[in-house]
Structure 1
C-alpha cells in the first residue's frame, strides 16, 4: 500500500535520489546534501511542533508500506516571505494614450514584487517516474491538503503553488536566457543553487529596478512567460481541480506560473470529515482518501472505507498503515 508519511533525517539518501531524478530547474528540490539535510531536520521539528508555526516546513514522503521504498516527495511550507522576501514578477498592463495622436496602446510588463509574505506554499511535488499515471501523484498532492485540513490554524488563509517554468528540448530555459540572465549574469544552475543555499539577498541586489516591457523581450522568452514545464502539466491539472487559479505572478528565474487558492475553499479541505475509527470488513466499500486527524504523526493513504454514522470503518491493514487504533480520530475526503 502507498502511504504518505512525515519525512525525517533518515530519508536523506532517498530524498537525494529523488532530487537527481527531478531534473534541472526543480528549485525546491536541489541536489545539495546540506540543503536537503537541513530541510529534513526542519521537517522533523515541524511535525513535532518544536518550531514556531510560521517557520514550519512539512516534508512528506510517499512510501510503499510493504517494502519501505520511498517513491515520492511533497511539501507544505506554513508561511513564505517572512524571514526573507519572496520575490516574483507580476504581469501588469500599462496603458498609454495620446490625445494628439488619437492613439492608445496597452503594454504588458514584468514588475518585481514581494506579495506572498505569510502565504502557505504547497510544492516540491515529485513522484518516481515509474508510478506516474496510476494515481500516486494525486494521492501525494492531496495528502498536503489533508494535512492542512487536519489543523487549519497552522496555515495561512491563502495557499500558493509555484510551478516549474518551460525548458526547451536542450534543457535550457528561454525565460532565463532572454530575461533574467541579463541581470544576474550567472549560469542558471548557480543562481538556482543560491536561491536555497543563501539568504537570497543577491536576488534583490541584482534584480531589475524598473518594469520590463514584454514587447522588447525576444519571442522565445516572452512565449515562456507563465508556461508550465512539460513535466508539470499534470501537477497544474491537479492544482486546478483543487481550486487553484493563476495569480498573475511568475517565477523570476524560469517564468513558471504561481497559482493560488483560499485555504478553506480547497476541494479536499471542503469535503473532509472527521470520524471515530472502527476496524472491520470493507470488501465492498468504495476507496476514499484517508488521513490521521492531527499534524503530529500525520499519515495518509487511499483505501476502501465505509461511513457508519459517526464512525468510519476501514480494514485492519489500512489501520496499521495509518498507525491508528480503534476509536482514534480519522479524516476522510472524497476519493
Structure 2
C-alpha cells in the first residue's frame, strides 16, 4: 500500500470538511466550515499557479492520498510569509526582576507581552492525519513532505519558519488559557470564540486585548499551567519538530496558549540534509528507506521509497516511482527516513 502527498484539488473539499469535523476544536488552520475551507483551496490554487519566484503571501495545501483506493487520509499546509494580511501576534513569555533593599528581597514576575516578532516568518501548520491511519509513519510523511516542498521551492520562502501547536483543551472542550485571560475581555466562551476564530482568524483577539504586559501571577492556576503546553494529541508533533531542529523560544499562541516552535529554515534537518539526484534506474533491490519527492508546484509529489546510489545518481523502487510520477532520468529530492 503506497501513500503520496500531493497538491490539494477542488474535489478534496468534502474530504477536508470531514477531517475538519474530527479535529475536536482549537484547530485554527482546518476549520469545520465549507466556505472557509473552499477559500483556503482557492488561495492554494493561486499559489500553485504562480510561476514567478520570490516570497509572496502564499498558502499551499497538501493532501495525503492512498494511491490504491484514491482515499484522502490526511492534510497539511505551508504559509510562505505570515503577517502580511493582518499583524501576526504572539505572546512572548518574559521575566521582570525587581529588588527591594528595605525588604532585602528579590521578586521575579513572569509576564506575557503582545508582540509581532515572528511576522514575516514562513509557517508549517494544518497537519491532520485521519485517526484510522495513525500508524506506519504517515504523520512523519505528511510533516516532512513540507520541508522537501520548501527545499524544491526555496526562493519562495524566507529565513525563519514557525509552527504553532494547539494548546491545552479540557474534557468539556474549553481552554483554561482562554478562560483565564482572553475570555475575561470578550464575554465569549472558548467554543464560540473557536468557531469565530476558525472562519475569521484571531485578529479580533489582538484588536481588543490589552496591549500592556500581563502578569501571569494574576491568572488562575489552571491558566498559568497551560501556558506553553501542547494539546496531548500534539506531543508527538512537538517531538518531530524538535527532531527537525525547531525550538520553543517562549512564544505562545494568544488564543489558547499553545507553544510556537521556531527555526531557521536552512537549519531544518530535512531541508539541510535533502539531496538532489538523477534517477539512474528503477528497481527493487534493497536500499535505504527515504522520503522521495518529484515535481514542482502543483506537480509536486512525495512518498516513502527505497534509495541506493551515490554521486548524484540513484535507484528508486517502482512503487515510489509510480507514486511520485518519476522515471529514469527524472530529478528527485530524497532524504533518509530516520
Query: Which aligned pairs between 1:98-177 and structure 2 lie closer than 5 A?
Result: 98-177=100-179
Contact persistence 1:282–1:305 (CA under 8 A):
no
Query: Which aligned pairs between 1:1-335 and structure 2 lie closer than 5 A?
Result: 1-49=2-50, 53-198=55-200, 200-292=202-294, 294-335=296-337
TM-score where L is the length of structure 1 = 0.95
1:229/1:183 CA distance change after superposition, 3 Å:
same
Q: What is the distance in 1 between the residues matched to 2:197 and 2:56?
A: 20
Q: What is the distance in 2 between the residues matched to 1:248 and 1:115?
A: 12
Contact persistence 1:8–1:41 (CA under 8 A):
no
Map Cα deviations across residues 196-245 of structure 1 (whole Å, 9 max, x no partner): 43375422331122211111111111000011101101110110110000
Q: What is the distance in 2 between the residues matched to 1:197 and 1:27?
A: 8
* Offset of residue 34 of structure 1: 0.8
Q: What is the distance in 2 between the residues matched to 1:259 and 1:201?
A: 20
* Offset of residue 102 of structure 1: 2.1
* Offset of residue 305 of structure 1: 1.5
Q: What is the distance in 1 between the residues matched to 2:277 and 2:105?
A: 64
Contact persistence 1:159–1:261 (CA under 8 A):
yes
Contact persistence 1:274–1:293 (CA under 8 A):
no
TM-score where L is the length of structure 2 = 0.95
1:200/1:173 CA distance change after superposition, 3 Å:
closer
Does the residue aligned with 2:56 lie in a helix, a strand or coil?
helix
Map Cα deviations across residues 276-296 of structure 1 (whole Å, 9 max, x no partner): 123322331222110015334
- What is the root-mean-square deviation of aligned Cα atoms in Å? 1.6
* Offset of residue 20 of structure 1: 0.6
Q: What is the distance in 1 between the residues matched to 2:280 and 2:186?
A: 58
Map Cα deviations across residues 261-316 of structure 1 (whole Å, 9 max, x no partner): 11001110111110112332233122211001533411100111212432221133
| Corresponding residue pairs, total | 335
Q: What is the distance in 2 between the residues matched to 1:211 and 1:53?
A: 33
Q: What is the distance in 1 between the residues matched to 2:224 and 2:206?
A: 22
Q: What is the distance in 1 between the residues matched to 2:303 and 2:84?
A: 32
Q: What is the distance in 2 between the residues matched to 1:68 and 1:244?
A: 33
Contact persistence 2:165–2:238 (CA under 8 A):
yes
Q: What is the distance in 1 between the residues matched to 2:203 and 2:228?
A: 24
Does the residue aligned with 2:297 lie in a helix, a strand or coil?
coil
Contact persistence 1:16–1:31 (CA under 8 A):
yes
Q: What is the distance in 2 between the residues matched to 1:17 and 1:53?
A: 32
Q: What is the distance in 2 between the residues matched to 1:219 and 1:151?
A: 45
* Offset of residue 106 of structure 1: 0.7
